[in-house]
């Protein structure tokens, strides 16, 4: 039972203002067009830590290849990772795949409906469970993501930041979210609150003048926000080595890829361009430079064209290496950086590439 310490009239007004605003201003996003719990689940997992613009493209390609939970469960992990390429944080793809297999085996392919049952599945936490249960099944449970935390803290004048208040603040936020969620339209309300945080109550520049809940907001832009974490910089260099294919009668070209070790914590098992031993690439040997952000690190990447005969001497030995026909490379589980470089070099082709839009330089993967 949720402790009710807000004025009922104030809560009702906030719900009404927020839902009316959402009906007029919601973005037309592909996952909002489907009531299918599986499709909502895929979107919610992708949206964790990846920007909406990137998710829109990958989501449609992913669902085109895996339209049902069972089709995902039956797919080889390598195919799932290949479709995840560019979204980053590949652990999410592996957990989604495992959970789909679990549901296919233990629940006859049907996702449980309640948030409590959903939480028992591998890789589904409180946020994802509440999002699926409220949006797909109308369960009255609050959804609390980073956007909702920020909005509610500003509404109440609570200091918001990564460590401010700790567990006590988190509990207060969850209690408030549970009080506010609209029992008549919990899915719409939860999406409206998240949408407000994503498009109006922005981290650095809240648009209070157009905010539908401004009359109920105690801070209206005058708030304390934790400073943005500092990005680190790192310089790296990779070899782009392309040769004529060895298959008789084939004019296919092949690119040299290297598999990251399965024991690595970041992107284990994915394929990348071999690393150069020397990051100082002479200007006349430089194929391209790319900035690539992973978590809190900006990588300044130099790409050097390396002939097949020079690969061994110039690169650092890592995992297994394979010459992959360029026509097949788009379907390989590439790292985001490898996909970005091959795309910019116009070396990716085929249906898998058509399904996956190129990223911008600032994509965080």
List of residues contacting ligand SF4 (CB under 6 A): 151, 154-155, 200-201, 206-208, 211, 213-214, 217, 219-221
CB 179 within 8 A of CB 11: yes
Tokens of 238: 């990779």
Q: How crowded is the C-beta side of 176, counted as CA atoms within 13 Å?
A: 21
Residue nearer to ligand SF4 on the CB measure, 217 or 306 = 217
CB of 192 to ligand SF4, least distance (A): 12
Residue nearer to ligand SF4 on the CB measure, 147 or 359 = 147
CB of 207 to ligand SF4, least distance (A): 6
Give the burial string for 195-227 (b: 16+ CB within 10 Å, else e).
bbbbebbeeeebebeebbbbebbebbeebeeee
57: annotated active-site residue? no
CB 327 within 8 A of CB 310: no
Strands 232-240 and 297-305, by their bridges, are parallel
**Residue whose entry in the numeric block shows the structure tokens 């997992």:** 45
Q: CA 217, CA 159: separation in Å to the nearest integer?
A: 14
Q: CA 246, CA 240: separation in Å to the nearest integer?
A: 18
Residue nearer to ligand SF4 on the CB measure, 211 or 348 = 211
Q: Which of 147, 226, 155, 232 is nearest to 190 (CA)?
A: 147
Q: Which of 20, 44, 149, 174 is catalytic?
A: 44
Residues found in the chain:
365
Residue nearer to ligand SF4 on the CB measure, 71 or 219 = 219
Residue nearer to ligand SF4 on the CB measure, 170 or 218 = 218
CB of 52 to ligand SF4, least distance (A): 18
DSSP 126: H
CB of 49 to ligand SF4, least distance (A): 22
CB of 197 to ligand SF4, least distance (A): 8
What is the set of active-site residues? 44
């Amino acid at each position: 039972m949720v402790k009710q310490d807000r004025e009922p009239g104030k809560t009702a007004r906030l719900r009404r203002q927020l839902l009316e605003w959402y009906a007029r201003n919601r973005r037309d996003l592909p996952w909002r067009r489907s009531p299918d719990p599986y499709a909502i689940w895929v979107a919610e997992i992708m949206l964790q830590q990846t920007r909406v613009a990137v998710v829109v493209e990958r989501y449609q390609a992913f669902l085109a290849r895996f339209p049902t939970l069972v089709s995902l469960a039956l797919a080889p992990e390598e195919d799932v990772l290949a479709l995840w390429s560019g979204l980053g944080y590949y652990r999410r793809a592996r957990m989604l795949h495992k959970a789909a297999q679990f549901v296919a085996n233990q629940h006859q392919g049907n996702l449980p409906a309640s948030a409590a049952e959903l939480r028992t599945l591998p890789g589904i936490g409180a946020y994802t469970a509440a999002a699926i249960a409220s949006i797909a099944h109308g369960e009255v449970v609050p959804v609390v993501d980073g956007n909702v935390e920020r909005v509610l803290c500003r509404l109440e004048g609570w200091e918001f930041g990564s460590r401010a208040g700790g567990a006590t603040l988190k509990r207060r936020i969850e209690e408030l979210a549970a009080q506010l969620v609209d029992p008549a339209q919990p899915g719409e309300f939860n999406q409206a609150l998240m949408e407000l945080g994503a498009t109006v109550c922005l981290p650095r520049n809240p648009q209070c003048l157009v905010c539908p809940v401004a009359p109920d907001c105690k801070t209206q832009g005058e708030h304390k926000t934790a400073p943005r974490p500092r990005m680190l910089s790192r310089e790296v260099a990779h070899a782009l080595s392309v040769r004529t294919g060895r298959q008789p009668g084939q004019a296919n070209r092949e690119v040299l890829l290297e598999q990251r070790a399965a024991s690595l914590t970041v992107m284990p098992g994915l394929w990348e361009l071999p690393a150069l031993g020397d990051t100082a690439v002479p200007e006349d040997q430089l194929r391209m430079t790319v900035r690539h952000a992973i978590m809190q690190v900006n990588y300044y990447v130099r790409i050097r064209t390396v002939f097949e005969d020079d690969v061994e001497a110039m690169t650092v030995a890592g995992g297994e290496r394979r010459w992959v026909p360029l026509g097949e490379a788009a379907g390989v589980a590439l790292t985001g950086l490898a996909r970005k470089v091959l795309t910019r070099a116009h070396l990716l082709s085929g249906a898998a590439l058509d399904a996956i839009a190129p990223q911008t330089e600032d994509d965080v993967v």
